[in-house]
């Protein structure tokens, strides 16, 4: 893996944002809309419920910020691929001496940078506007961040593989895939409050123990280490399977000559 190639690809994606500032709107505007909506709902419920339940509602803001970590990591992979499609640059990338691992590595870095921008803005607004400090999670925020980011990368590779397989008609999957699993990963509610038949399904996703852990830390200040071990183990499985799926679909697309057709549509 050549770090110079990865840095060149990352710079190419960053140029898209520096040369077209309107692209930054997507990074800041929609996360702020979600945060303000949930923040106002939190304030409303706090004012119309007892103090203990009002404190519990603060979990919504923490969940919203952590969910955005997963979503932006996924978007970093999927949208970076679509940027190459929209600008008719996909063939230029794949005819160049760029390995698949280097291409994915660049999209991972872009996803990380997208996370930093949106999370800094959301953390600042939540603190100033709603007196919610995400850093109350203390050092637990680091493993939460890393696990959600890795899971987002895996979802990004899955999204991209599906788009490669089904063509531009499936571009909406770049945004839809994370929301397919959102009800199952218990972003805003505990697993125990889900229907009994859905709870085993929920624990099959690495994001579930992270959101459960977030609520546990906010409530008690400590965390059951089993949540982190489960998330890390599942992430390893998801990342491996997603990487295999992406490479497999990409190789099939190349062998059948569909990549040229896909990139020039």
pLDDT tens digits for range 145-171: 999 999 999 999 998 888 887 777 777
**Contact predicate 207/235, CB 8 Å:** no
Q: Which single residue is written with the structure tokens 């970093």? A: 76
Contacts 24+ apart (CB under 8 A), 170-178: 171/82, 173/78, 174/75, 174/78, 174/79, 174/81, 174/82, 175/75, 177/74, 177/78, 178/70, 178/71, 178/74, 178/152
Tokens of residue 132, six digits: 């919610």
pLDDT tens digits for range 22-45: 777 777 777 888 888 887 877 777
pLDDT at 151: 93
Residue 60 has pLDDT above 90, yes or no: no
Identify the DSSP state of 49: S
Q: How confident is the model at residue 51 (pLDDT cuts 50, 70, 90)?
A: low
pLDDT at 236: 94
Q: What number of residues does the chain have?
A: 265
Residue 122 has pLDDT above 80, yes or no: yes
pLDDT at 106: 86
Tokens of residue 100, six digits: 């698949």
Higher pLDDT, 40 or 264: 40
pLDDT at 167: 72
206: nearest Cα among 188, 226, 192: 226
118: nearest Cα among 193, 24, 241: 24
pLDDT (mean) for 5-20 = 78
Q: How confident is the model at residue 258 (pLDDT cuts 50, 70, 90)?
A: low
Q: Collapse the DSSP code of 264 into the 3-class scheme (helix H, G, I; strand E, B; otherwise coil) and give the result.
A: coil
Residue 55 has pLDDT above 60, yes or no: no
Secondary structure percentages of the chain, helix, strand, coil, to 5:
80, 0, 20
Tokens of residue 89, six digits: 């640059």
Residue 122 CA to residue 150 CA, distance in Å, equals 20
Q: Is 106 exposed, middle or buried (0-12, 13-18, 19+ CB in 10 A)?
A: buried
- C-alpha to C-alpha distances, 40 to 35, 80, 126, nearest whole angstrom: 8, 33, 11
Q: Is 39 exposed, middle or buried (0-12, 13-18, 19+ CB in 10 A)?
A: buried
pLDDT tens digits for range 196-219: 888 899 999 999 999 988 888 888
Residue 99 CA to residue 238 CA, distance in Å, equals 21
Tokens of residue 165, six digits: 């397989």
Question: DSSP labels for 117-158?
Answer: HHHHHHHHHHHHHH---GGGGGGGHHHHHHHHHHHHHHHHHH
């Amino acid at each position: 893996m050549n770090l110079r190639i990865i840095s060149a690809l990352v710079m190419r994606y960053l140029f898209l944002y520096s040369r077209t500032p309107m692209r930054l709107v997507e990074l800041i505007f929609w996360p702020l809309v979600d945060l303000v909506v949930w923040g106002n709902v939190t304030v409303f419920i706090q004012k119309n419920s007892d103090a203990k339940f009002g404190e519990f509602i603060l979990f919504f803001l923490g969940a919203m910020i952590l969910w955005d970590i997963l979503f932006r990591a996924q978007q970093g992979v999927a949208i970076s691929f679509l940027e190459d499609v929209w600008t008719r640059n996909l063939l230029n990338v794949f005819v160049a001496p760029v390995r698949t691992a280097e291409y994915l590595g660049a999209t991972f870095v872009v996803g990380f940078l997208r996370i930093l921008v949106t999370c800094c803005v959301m953390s600042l607004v939540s603190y100033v506007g709603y007196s919610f400090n995400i850093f109350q999670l203390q050092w637990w925020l680091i493993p939460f961040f890393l696990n959600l980011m890795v899971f987002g990368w895996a979802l990004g590779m899955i999204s991209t593989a599906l788009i490669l397989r089904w063509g531009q008609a499936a571009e909406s999957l770049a945004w839809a895939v994370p929301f397919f699993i959102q009800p199952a990963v218990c972003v805003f509610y505990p697993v125990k409050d889900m229907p009994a038949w859905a709870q085993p399904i929920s624990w099959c996703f690495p994001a579930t123990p992270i959101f459960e852990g977030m609520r546990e830390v906010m409530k008690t200040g400590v965390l059951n280490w089993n949540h982190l071990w489960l998330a890390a183990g599942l992430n390893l499985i998801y990342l491996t399977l997603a990487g295999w799926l992406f490479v497999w679909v990409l190789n099939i697309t190349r062998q059948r000559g569909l990549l040229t057709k896909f990139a020039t549509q």
